Amino acid sequence: MALPQEIIRRKRDRHSLSRDELYEFACSMGRGELSEGQIAAFAMAVFLNGMSTAETAALTLAMRDSGRVLDWSHLPGPVADKHSTGGVGDNISLILAPVLVACGVHVPMISGRGLGHTGGTLDKLESIPNLSTDIDTLRFMRIVEDVGCAIIAQSNELAPADRAFYSVRDITATVESIPLITASILSKKLAAGLRFLTLDVKYGNGAFMQRQRDAVQLAKSLIRTAAETGLVATALVTDMNQPLASSVGNALEVSAAIDVLTNRRSEKRLREAVIALAAETLVSVGSEQSNADASATAAQVLIDGRAAEIFARMVVAQGGPADLIDRAGDHLASAPVTHVVESQKAGFLSWIDTRALGLELVELGGGRTKAGEPIDHSVGFSDIVPSGTRVEHGMPLFRIHARTKEACLRSQSRLSSAYAYLDRRQICSALIGRRLTAE
């Protein structure tokens, strides 16, 4: 058995680590046997020297095996999930999970909370009164069996090595390591017992990865490592140079998701992303033969209300109100003060500082600067005018939702340069930039 410091030294000195070495290190992390300093030193050694695909896969499997691995073999039909690298106004999971269930796929989804400028699916769900995402494994499995999907927080039982590892990476400037990102994402998905995974890897000024080429690099790492671990994965590289939907903020995004599920509003980009990711999943699991057929199937379960019914059942199963779909306004928190921000120029909107919107949500109290902070689910932005729109002076650009008038005015001031204008319309980036599969 290799000592932890020897494993750290070998990676520091640019050696490849064996499967056994990585297994020992990950399991020791999961059992709480390593110091924070040892974990930090290992993270920095990987950050500086990288890992091969084989090493990344071995680390992924070791982190998976540091805790319980769920087994869904008793369920009829495929078990799949989606993972997003995070963006502003990204509430896809709230719509996609019910869509996939309505198409015959079981979706055990383990999600995260927001930190920084990108929101978290759990925070959005927890804006629904009494809904719980901190659910034990047995109840989680029962909800997936009965409803078809559940969206919960990571428990101590699943991939505990990842929890220990991530908390250190976040404070040691090693989060951006592609091998460590890959192992973190895939170890949780494998611990959840998945067979199929669809990845939404975002790039742009509102995403974790600013450049498309960096997002493609991460997507390739995820797909190659997934293949090494027996997980079927495909990826869409998507644009996050503007908010995905017209709302940013936890309760506002739940309301927007319900509007899409019930066909009350189009939310064109959001709907496009949901249909595209659903189609990728349905083809991957073998439910549909072509992307066109899969897209039509996914669109139909939105149109006929089957996806909305699944969402309503999931909300109730996790403790939320039975009439949320019909009476969302009665249940979701609303900010006491709203303020419309008007355009100070005329022209075509050519650019939105999406990151600034995400950071301003944090300033309003709707996000966190450190883990564990309470948040205000009611605040945010709505009616956001998308890029490419022709506006006149004085036309609304977006609406601020805040606790006080002073907070609204501060947000307006800070976001005064969030839009850029051109005299002529330019072609906006396509939502889906690349599609990647295992080679």
The whole-number mean pLDDT for each consecutive block of 10 residues of the chain, a chain of 439 residues, reads 91 96 93 94 96 96 94 95 91 97 96 73 95 95 98 89 85 88 94 96 91 95 96 96 94 97 92 97 96 98 98 98 96 97 94 93 87 88 95 96 96 93 86 90
| HSE-up of residue 334 (Cα within 13 Å, Cβ side) | 10
Q: Which fold has domain 80-327?
A: Pyrimidine Nucleoside Phosphorylase; Chain A, domain 2 (3.40.1030)
CB 237 within 8 A of CB 203: yes
109 bridge partner residues: 151
Tens of pLDDT along 318-346?
999 999 999 999 999 999 999 999 999 99
The span from the CA of 197 to the CA of 232, in Å, is 6
Domain boundaries, the chain: 4-64, 80-327, 334-422
Q: What is the pTM of this model?
A: 0.94
Four-way CATH pick for 334-422: 3.40.1360.10, 3.90.1170.30, 3.40.50.1260, 2.30.30.280: 3.90.1170.30
| HSE-up of residue 99 (Cα within 13 Å, Cβ side) | 33
pLDDT number for residue 115 = 63
Residue 401 CA from chain centroid, whole number: 23
429: phi then psi, degrees, rounded to nearest 5: -60, 140
Element (H, E) at 251: helix 250-261
Residue 76: Cβ within 10 Å count: 6
DSSP class of residue 313 equals H
Q: Is the dihedral of CA 31, 35, 36, 38 positive or negative?
A: negative
CB 123 within 8 A of CB 114: yes
434 bridge partner residues: 237
Which residues are CB-contacts of 352 (< 8 A; sequence separation ≥ 6)?
A: 205, 241, 242, 243, 384, 386, 387, 418, 419
The span from the CA of 178 to the CA of 131, in Å, is 34
Catalytic annotation, residues = 81-84, 121, 169, 184, 188-189
User: Domain 4-64 - what CATH class?
Assistant: mainly alpha
